[in-house]
Amino acid sequence: MAGWELTQSLRESIYKYASFKQTSISLRQMVQFGPNPSPGSIFLASQFIVEELPIRLAKKVKDLENAPLGLSKTPSTVIVKNWYAQSFEELVNLPKPEISPELKKLLENKNNTPTMDMGESQIPKASADEGKILHEDNTVIDEKQNPVHNESTNPAINNIFSDDGIIVRPHHSFRKKIEESIKSKSPTYGKNYYTPTNMNTVWPKEVYDYNKSVFDALSKIKRRHDATVATMAQGVKEWKSEHKTILVNSSIQTFLDRFYMSRIGIRMLIGQHLALNLAQQKSPKSKFSLFGNSKQKSNYVGVICTDCKVSEIAEDAIETAKYVCEEYYGLYQCPEIKLILTNNEIEFMYVPGHLIHMLFETLKNSLRATIEFHLPILKQKMIDENPNLTPEDIDINDLKFPPIKVIISEGSEDIAIKISDEGGGIARSEIPLIWTYLYTTVEETPILDSDGSNSFRAPMAGFGYGLPISRLYAQYFGGDLKLISMEGYGTDVYLHLNRLSSSSEPLP
């Protein structure tokens, strides 16, 4: 960012966009592109993205400038704010496509909509009633009744005190007046991310050129923000150090919940759009395709898997967590993790990247708790059996730790995953603290590079971000993450994933 600065004119433009209302996008809408999307649909989606993302980026800049209790002034927070401002500037200055009358006619020809290469049952169908979807069993589900649409029940949106049930709600009549005044001004009001176009059309070069320019811009923005979580964590550490406090204030906690939930939405939109572009097959009818001829799995639409096999994702998360654990503790083999399935063929539509992240973070916690709780107990047991031994004589690889269980169950509304360990549990007084950012039981937290570099390896523990961020990932598509502990024995973590694919983004 050398030489770049947030000018007053740019700040005014940012605050103008920050007043616009965001447009929520559902998982169902994201998968309507199909595994091989039409270049025309990508073109229209690119226009939507270039109008929608600046609104979201602007809100991030405004929020960071108004972060509570001096958090906005920490050096790392300023770095993150400037990243969002720079990305905003690049998108609003991106040249708009010139749409000729011929191209406009092609884009409006929707008689032959894209076909799916997967079973139609994989994608929920739109019903005749707006706001409802028709599932494969012909059950009509009212999206407006989905809890994710009720902002007052979403702790990541307006719950000032985390997990204590106290909700602060703005005055509804005032909110309604504000929303009505900005609806007509919002660039994306009334628009959809997905618009069907003719699959059999030979699209002109202008379509591919614009798709490529948006792809390149989003790729650059995505790389810029890769280190946002680590850099913002550094900003919170700086704030804690300046204020000489150990715990995060409730207003900081609420701000960070909103910040990271919003970031998940931005990353999801960017990642999905980049993946849809990469999924475009090289058309034999056109020489202008610029994304190659890479083979795309037929059960993927962008980053969304239409038949995500939960057991396979769980196995990947287990292997990754075991590898990190073995490297951290110097183990030949870490504690056993048993995978228990109530049904071997549990599949549903989800984002595998989100799921593996949540499982990996919770499994790391369970492995660490199991080892560190039982290590002194098992060593003492060996010394009792052989008094000539000292703790230093005992190799950790000679100890037998109790297993961790991962139980996966399928319900009519959600997929539930329970991770159960015997790691000694958590004291009741500490349970509310585990959802706060940068709370950790590790004595020395990992060092984060001050320049925001994200080249470090994922630590076994110490960030204090694993559970709070994982809960936001679960809530993003209507699920949740809960924890029940028995101090002196162990902890059960329950991950609930919405399987109805009907929820929209929880936008403030």
Kindly report the pTM of this predicted structure.
Answer: 0.79
Alpha helices, H only, 280-420: 310-329, 352-385
**pLDDT per residue as tens digits for the range 4-19:** 889 999 999 999 999 9
User: Exactly one of 81, 225, 364, 405 is catalytic; which is it?
Assistant: 364
- Rounded to 5 degrees, φ, ψ at 340 are -115, 120
Task: Decide if 159 is catalytic.
Answer: no
Nearest 10 degrees: CA dihedral of 271, 272, 273, 277? 100
The single-letter code of the amino acid at 237 is K
In whole angstroms, what is the distance from residue 348 CA to residue 308 CA?
A: 5
Task: Decide if 242 is catalytic.
Answer: no
Residue 433 Cα to chain centre, angstroms: 22
User: Exactly one of 62, 212, 357, 418 is catalytic; which is it?
Assistant: 357
Confidence at residue 286, expressed as pLDDT on a 0 to 100 scale: 40
Confidence at residue 249, expressed as pLDDT on a 0 to 100 scale: 84
In whole angstroms, what is the distance from residue 131 CA to residue 108 CA?
A: 24
Nearest 10 degrees: CA dihedral of 318, 440, 479, 59? -120
| Nearest one of 293, 283, 53 to 187, comparing CA atoms | 53
Confidence at residue 309, expressed as pLDDT on a 0 to 100 scale: 93
Between the alpha carbon of residue 108 and those of residues 25, 54, 89, 99, 198, the distances in Å are 22, 26, 30, 12, 9
In whole angstroms, what is the distance from residue 426 CA to residue 414 CA?
A: 27
476 close to 264: Cβ distance less than 8 angstroms: yes
Task: Decide if 365 is catalytic.
Answer: yes
**Complete domains list, the chain, with CATH:** 20-114+157-290 (1.20.140.20), 304-498 (3.30.565.10)
3-class SS letters over 132-177: EEECCCCCEEEHHHCHHHCHHHCHHHHCCCCCCCCCCCCCHHHHHH
**How many other CB atoms are there within 10 angstroms of residue 136's CB atom?**
12
Quick one: CA dihedral 252, 258, 261, 263, positive or negative? negative
* 337-341 vs 404-410, strand pairing mode: parallel
SS3 463: coil
User: Exactly one of 159, 211, 277, 365 is catalytic; which is it?
Assistant: 365
Confidence at residue 125, expressed as pLDDT on a 0 to 100 scale: 46
Nearest 10 degrees: CA dihedral of 266, 272, 273, 276? 180
Task: Decide if 357 is catalytic.
Answer: yes
Confidence at residue 295, expressed as pLDDT on a 0 to 100 scale: 47
User: Exactly one of 238, 347, 361, 422 is catalytic; which is it?
Assistant: 361
Q: How many CA atoms lie within 13 A of 314 on its CB side?
A: 23
Name the DSSP class of 327. Answer: H
pLDDT < 70 regions, the chain: 1-2, 109-184, 281-297, 440-463, 500-504, 508
In whole angstroms, what is the distance from residue 46 CA to residue 33 CA?
A: 13
In whole angstroms, what is the distance from residue 270 CA to residue 234 CA?
A: 24
Confidence at residue 402, expressed as pLDDT on a 0 to 100 scale: 97
Quick one: CA dihedral 113, 118, 120, 123, positive or negative? negative
